[in-house]
């Protein structure tokens, strides 16, 4: 791994801040898990959220169990692993699956982190249940989406076998409801993660390692790369040569200089890094009216003076980056992950914020629950794509001065065609506003960037996109459907954003979301810049 910084004012700040951190012994205190690095007063989710520092060594305790399960999967002819999880419970595993080399003959990984009924049906149609294992991953053990997936697939497995638990694996914290459920239903295996590691810092824990190991990735190499990065970021390394410290200071100084966007550009080994880093940075820093806005790829903006660019992967001289993280191998992706975790923790200390909590996330969850109970009366209806008023609504929102960023939130079933249509909309928004523009699928982004949306910088605009699903999918063991769940999540988040004084454009795309997106893109393009 090689990390280089472009010549910039932020580089001078690194040396200045290194002197202050040295005089206050901040890095040494951080490694001793001293919460006063971030807050002099005791606050929840701080002293007990620093276990990620030692994960590269402590998580090795899972390797033997992972290898034993992998042998069982091969012996039983398992062809698919369906990972049911949200945010930190699934993002790292998905990136590992897309980036790391795999031994041949192992199962493929399917990540289900969408409650859209059409996506649930598509995931089901892509597997044969007798040849599939299901990983139910939730740190808290009570994640509504994850438990809904579990109940859905439990019913599918129960229809073909008297021992459905043989096909299920749990990953959760000790003492959680999921641990008890897994025991009661006789799951094949349960992995207990470190309770002192928050979800977005859990890449090198059981949440990232178990799915990766079962599909044939070398998790020992992943942990070795993480250990190498931990040594680079350790208290014995001079701060000017500590990559986590240097990147963290660079990001924080960017915020203080009105350069609060970080765009990740990936190539080869690091091509999917930004998808994972989004949650880490957004949830950790997006609070108290400040924060770093992560942008995963997207169009290059002509005037991006508010943006830092971090390149991760193989060297590409065509990319002009403020920080270049060159990876010599795919396994070094784990090194980049640990370094970015350290950088985010350092940035939190620099900005005077608590990087391990998510105070505004629970509000949207509570409002979604109210919507499911029929108690959410004051949420506005989405505007139909066919409404003659939509052009006026879009024009009014995009004409606002000093737009910080635009977030496109798609409560749609992810497909290749929808990905392309959303990209066209993103390009149109950037072209008309010049603002950084992010894209996320709901409800996935609620567990990723949702904290930033409510607690971070003001002056942001949100396109919330909903459609009419083609399938009605009940959630077994409940009176709910996935249709009602995703509708409630969209409604709850819409109201949470409104309560936070955000500008929300909610659009119903109808039964043909691809055509609806094309129509919305044309409306955006017709708005006078």
In a domain, 244, yes or no: yes
Co-location of 271 and 178 in the same domain: no
How far apart CA 283 and CA 491 sit, in angstroms, is 21
pLDDT (tens digit per residue) in 96-128: 999 999 999 999 999 999 999 999 999 999 999
* Residue written as token pair 């629970």: 362
Co-location of 213 and 104 in the same domain: yes
Co-location of 479 and 504 in the same domain: yes
In a domain, 368, yes or no: yes
Co-location of 72 and 210 in the same domain: yes
Average pLDDT, whole number, for the chain?
94
Closest CA to 340 of 19, 10, 92, 131: 92
pLDDT (tens digit per residue) in 386-425: 999 999 999 999 988 889 999 999 999 999 999 999 999 9
Co-location of 198 and 243 in the same domain: no
Least confident of 4-13, 437-446, 450-459, 502-511: 4-13
pLDDT (tens digit per residue) in 498-513: 999 999 999 999 999 9
Confidence bin at 267 (pLDDT 50/70/90) = confident
In a domain, 44, yes or no: no
Give the pLDDT score at 377.
67
Q: Domain holding 80: CATH number?
A: 3.40.50.10490
How far apart CA 264 and CA 271 sit, in angstroms, is 9
In a domain, 120, yes or no: yes
Co-location of 210 and 245 in the same domain: no
Co-location of 270 and 367 in the same domain: no
Name the domain boundary from 296, 316, 351: 351
Q: What range defines the domain where residue 295 resides? A: 2-32+237-333+341-351
The bridge status of strand 307-313 relative to strand 323-326 is parallel
Co-location of 87 and 188 in the same domain: yes
Q: Are 138 and 146 in contact (CB under 8 A)?
A: yes
In a domain, 227, yes or no: no
Q: Could you tell me the pTM of the whole model?
A: 0.96
In a domain, 279, yes or no: yes
In a domain, 302, yes or no: yes
Chain centroid to Cα 142, Å, comes to: 18
In a domain, 40, yes or no: no
Beta strands in 383-499 (DSSP E): 383-384, 405-411, 436-441, 461-466
The bridge status of strand 108-112 relative to strand 132-137 is unpaired
- pLDDT over 80 (residue 9): no
- pLDDT over 90 (residue 374): no
The total of structural domains in the chain comes to 3
The bridge status of strand 261-267 relative to strand 108-112 is unpaired
Confidence bin at 10 (pLDDT 50/70/90) = low
Closest CA to 281 of 419, 433, 88: 88
Co-location of 367 and 512 in the same domain: yes
Residue 437 pairs in a beta bridge with 406
Q: Residue 64 burial by CB count (10 A; 0-12/13-18/19+): exposed, middle or buried?
A: exposed
How far apart CA 141 and CA 24 sit, in angstroms, is 39
Q: Which region holds residue 45: left if phi is over 0, alpha if psi is between -120 and 50, else beta?
A: left
Co-location of 300 and 389 in the same domain: no
Co-location of 213 and 297 in the same domain: no
Q: Which region holds residue 109: left if phi is over 0, alpha if psi is between -120 and 50, else beta?
A: beta
How far apart CA 499 and CA 503 sit, in angstroms, is 10
Beta strands in 345-428 (DSSP E): 383-384, 405-411
How far apart CA 495 and CA 462 sit, in angstroms, is 12
- Which letter does DSSP use for residue 481 in this model? B
Average pLDDT over residues 7-12: 60
Give the pLDDT score at 418.
98
Q: Are 524 and 385 in contact (CB under 8 A)?
A: no
Co-location of 366 and 501 in the same domain: yes
C-alpha pair distances (Å), 404 with each of 31, 146, 354, 465: 35, 33, 22, 20
């Amino acid at each position: 791994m090689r990390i280089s910084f472009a010549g910039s004012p932020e580089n001078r700040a690194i040396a200045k801040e290194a002197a202050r951190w040295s005089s206050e012994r901040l890095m040494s205190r951080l490694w001793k898990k001293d919460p006063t690095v971030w807050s002099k007063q005791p606050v929840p989710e701080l002293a007990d959220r620093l276990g990620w520092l030692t994960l590269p060594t402590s998580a090795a305790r899972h390797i033997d169990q992972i290898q034993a399960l992998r042998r069982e999967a091969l012996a039983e002819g398992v062809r698919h692993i369906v990972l049911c999880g949200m945010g930190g419970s699934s993002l790292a595993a998905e990136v590992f699956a897309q980036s790391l080399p795999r031994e041949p003959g192992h199962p493929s990984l399917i990540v289900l982190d969408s409650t859209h009924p059409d996506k649930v049906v598509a995931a089901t149609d892509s597997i044969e249940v007798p040849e599939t294992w299901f990983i139910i991953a939730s740190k808290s053990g009570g994640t509504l989406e994850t438990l809904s997936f579990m109940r859905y697939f439990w019913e599918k497995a129960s229809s073909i076998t008297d021992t459905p638990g043989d096909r299920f694996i749990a990953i959760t914290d000790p003492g959680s409801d999921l641990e008890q459920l897994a025991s009661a239903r006789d799951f094949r295996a349960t992995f207990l993660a470190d309770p002192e590691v928050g979800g977005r810092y859990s890449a090198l824990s059981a949440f990232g390692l178990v799915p990766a190991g079962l599909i044939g990735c070398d998790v020992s190499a992943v942990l070795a790369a993480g250990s190498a990065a931990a040594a680079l970021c350790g208290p014995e390394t001079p701060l000017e040569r500590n990559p986590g410290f240097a990147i963290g200071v660079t990001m924080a100084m960017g915020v203080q200089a009105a350069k609060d966007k970080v765009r990740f550009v990936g190539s080869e080994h690091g091509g999917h890094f930004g998808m994972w880093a989004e949650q880490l940075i957004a949830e950790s820093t997006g609070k108290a009216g400040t924060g770093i806005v992560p942008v995963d790829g997207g169009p290059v903006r002509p005037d991006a003076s508010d943006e830092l660019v971090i390149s991760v992967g193989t060297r590409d001289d065509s990319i002009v980056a403020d920080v270049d993280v060159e990876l010599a191998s795919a396994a070094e992706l784990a090194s980049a992950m640990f370094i970015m975790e350290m950088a985010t923790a350092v940035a939190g200390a620099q900005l005077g914020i608590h990087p391990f909590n998510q105070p505004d996330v629970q509000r949207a969850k509570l409002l979604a629950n109210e919507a499911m109970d029929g108690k959410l009366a004051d949420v506005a209806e989405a505007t139909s794509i066919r409404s003659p008023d939509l052009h006026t609504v879009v024009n009014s929102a995009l004409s606002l001065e000093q737009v910080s960023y635009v977030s496109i939130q798609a409560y749609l079933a992810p497909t290749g065609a929808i990905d392309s249509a959303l990209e066209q909309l993103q390009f149109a928004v950037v072209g008309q506003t010049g603002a950084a523009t992010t894209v996320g699928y709901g409800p996935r982004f609620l567990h990723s960037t949702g904290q930033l949306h409510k607690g971070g910088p003001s002056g942001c605009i949100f396109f919330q996109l909903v459609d009419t699903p083609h399938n009605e999918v009940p959630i077994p063991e409940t009176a709910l459907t996935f249709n009602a769940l995703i509708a409630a999540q969209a409604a709850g988040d819409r109201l949470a954003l409104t309560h936070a004084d955000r500008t929300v454009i909610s659009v119903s795309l109808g039964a043909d979301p691809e055509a609806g997106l094309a129509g919305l893109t044309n409306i955006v393009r017709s708005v006078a810049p």
